[in-house]
Amino acid sequence: MIDRCTNKYRLNQEDLNVYDLLLPYDHILQDFLNLIDWETIALGLECHYEAGRGRPGIPPIYLLKMEFLRYFYRLSDSEVFERCRTDIAFRWFLQLPIRRDPPDSTTLCRFRGRIGQEGFQKIFDQIIHQARDAGLVKDRLRLKDASHVIASIAIPTSLQLLAQLRDRLLKQIAAVDPQVAEGFRVSAAQIRQETEKCSDAVRLENRVRLLNDVLAWIDQSQPSDDLLSAAWQKLLETRGLAKKILNDQTDPDATDKILSLVDPEARRGMHGEWFEGYKVDLLVDPDSQLITQINVIAASGNEASNCVTLVTREQQTFGNQIETVSIDRAGYDGAMIRELEDKANVEVIVPPKKRPETKLFTSDDFTVSEDGSQATCPAGAVSTRRNEEPNGRRVRYTFAKDTCASCPLLNQCMNKLPKGRMGRAVSKNEYEVEYARVAARATTERYHNVRREHPLVERKFTEPLNRHGGRRTPYRGTAKTTMHELMAATATNVKRIVNLMLGRVRTAPA
């Protein structure tokens, strides 16, 4: 029976006697049950359930605990269900009566779909809330790093990808207009026969042409009201995907290419070596070694801008003020440094880029006017031309050639005059102030002390990724992969919190 006051199954004396007889007193799940407030976490998930409709559902606390067990022990849905049926420690952790079976594995799938990414974020945040209430988490420093998550997809060739896209489009067109779909299928069969012995380039060109014809038909179609249905909307979504894939084919250097129709959000990125999938980005508190925030971005995503997302989300969620964040060279980004230091009031520790040694004047020796319209060289000459680079972050100032030729400091400025009508050119970055600030900070003892702590975040990655299944995502899409990584990080954090509370490990000295 479910106790309506606590929304849990009631354990009678017989259940308690059996557990007392069989359960090892020092089992780790005993500690997880006693030291983590699962009831409060489950209470935050009840808003994802519709009250007052149908028979009462399984209390979310049981599904939450089963999901935790699945990640902590790296089990599948069916495996965790079987262990909850037969393992006395699993049953005690669930607080399940001896004569009652646990929820079946399909209920876990519905649970994940019901609470979604928002619910898993709540679970992760509630664990950190409990750690903060226990005084474990400090705010003096966050270590930020990213690692790769491999997508569960097979990467097709360009020909295979276009063929899969064509087949999907024609299948969806058949639900709207079967005759048009059959006509395109005839054309596809004809192209396949005519180009069977041609080169891949010719075959690719013909398939792209056919796809453009299909997309042109979709664009020109004016569906009647009865066609404005789920089938037509699905076709329009695939049309957007098709246009992105065709644009990728025309740009061989594109860094945001769709790799597979199975998981169209997966990308190719570099992390030591090339991989296909996503990046998982996290913040770690070095004092408690807890993961305080986590996010998943595309493999080709910008780690620097995501650092702003992580820091902002943590401070908004917990109402704290982080003093310093340490990031590797991926964080040498002026926009990110300005956003964190000027708006979020967070000091940024990042290794500056090394500039080549030279005895000539560098861009630092040139000053820019307050309105940014001109630059002045060390000899006092003023630039005559100003050009903004396409990315908008750099401005190029150019001096007259005659001025440079007659300058007494010419030998200190350049080895020889450039060809053409113009003289010395200097590029100034919009974020010169921010870069100068982190470069000056890199000469201090504090910088070296923080950087000595930074490798801890790289070691921390081994737990959620390698021990709790986070290295490869079993799901498709950024949202579901984020849910997967949140639970892997939650399993890591729960273990660390319990060990800290029991004194098995110690926090770093202040």
Contact criterion met (CB below 8 Å) for 234 and 164? no
Answer positive or negative: Cα dihedral of 106, 110, 116, 122.
negative
Q: What pLDDT does residue 431 have? A: 86
Nearest to 462 by CA among 151, 139, 43, 145: 145
pLDDT of res. 479: 94
DSSP 220-281: H----GGG-SHHHHHHHHHHHHHHHHHHHHH-TT-SS----SSSTT-EEEEESEEEEEEEEE
CA-nearest of 100, 101, 108 to 78 is: 108
Please count the other Cβ atoms lying within 10 Å of the Cβ belonging to residue 485.
27
**pLDDT of 314 higher than 90:** yes
% of the chain residues with pLDDT over 90: 49
Residue 1 pLDDT greater than 50, yes or no: no
Do 350 and 329 touch, CB atoms closer than 8 A?
yes
Give me the pLDDT at residue 510, please.
43
Reply yes or no on whether the pLDDT at 414 is more than 90: no
Taking the C-alpha atoms of residue 34 and residue 152, their distance in angstroms, rounded to an integer, is 37
Average pLDDT of the residues in 22-37:
90
The whole-number average pLDDT for the span 452-472 is 92
Using CA atoms, how far residue 411 sits from 288, 397, 406, in Å, is 56, 19, 11
Closest to 372 measured CA to CA, from 353, 395, 355:
395
User: Token pair of 209, please?
Assistant: 């042409």
- In this prediction, residue 228 carries a pLDDT of 58
**Averaged pLDDT, 460-470:** 92
Residue at 63: amino acid letter? L
Is residue 340 over pLDDT 80? yes
Rounded CA-CA distance 220/112 in Å is 40
**Beta-carbon contacts of residue 116 (< 8 Å; ≥ 6 apart):** 48, 479, 483
What pLDDT digit, counting tens, does each position of 474-500 carry?
999 999 999 999 999 999 999 999 999
pLDDT digits (tens, 9 = 90+) for 81-114: 999 999 999 999 998 888 888 888 888 999 999 9
Helix (H) or strand (E) holding 159: helix 158-174
Alpha-carbon gap, residue 433 to 454, rounded angstroms: 25
CATH class of the domain at 142-150+267-351+442-501? alpha beta
* Mean of the per-residue pLDDT values of the chain: 88
Q: What is the pLDDT of residues 170-225, one digit of tens each?
A: 999 888 888 989 999 999 999 989 888 888 889 989 999 999 999 999 888 866 55
Residue 11: CB atoms within 10 Å = 16
β-bridge pairing 142-150 and 324-327: parallel
Residue 490 CA to residue 65 CA, distance in Å, equals: 12
- Mean pLDDT calculated for residue range 365-382: 88
pLDDT score recorded for residue 282: 94
Name which residue leads in pLDDT, 3 or 20. Answer: 20
Residue 313 above 90 pLDDT?
A: yes
SS3 state at 496: helix
What whole-number distance in Å separates Cα of residue 199 and Cα of residue 205?
10
The residue-averaged pLDDT of 277-296 equals 95
Question: 226: pLDDT confidence band, cut at 50, 70 and 90?
Answer: low
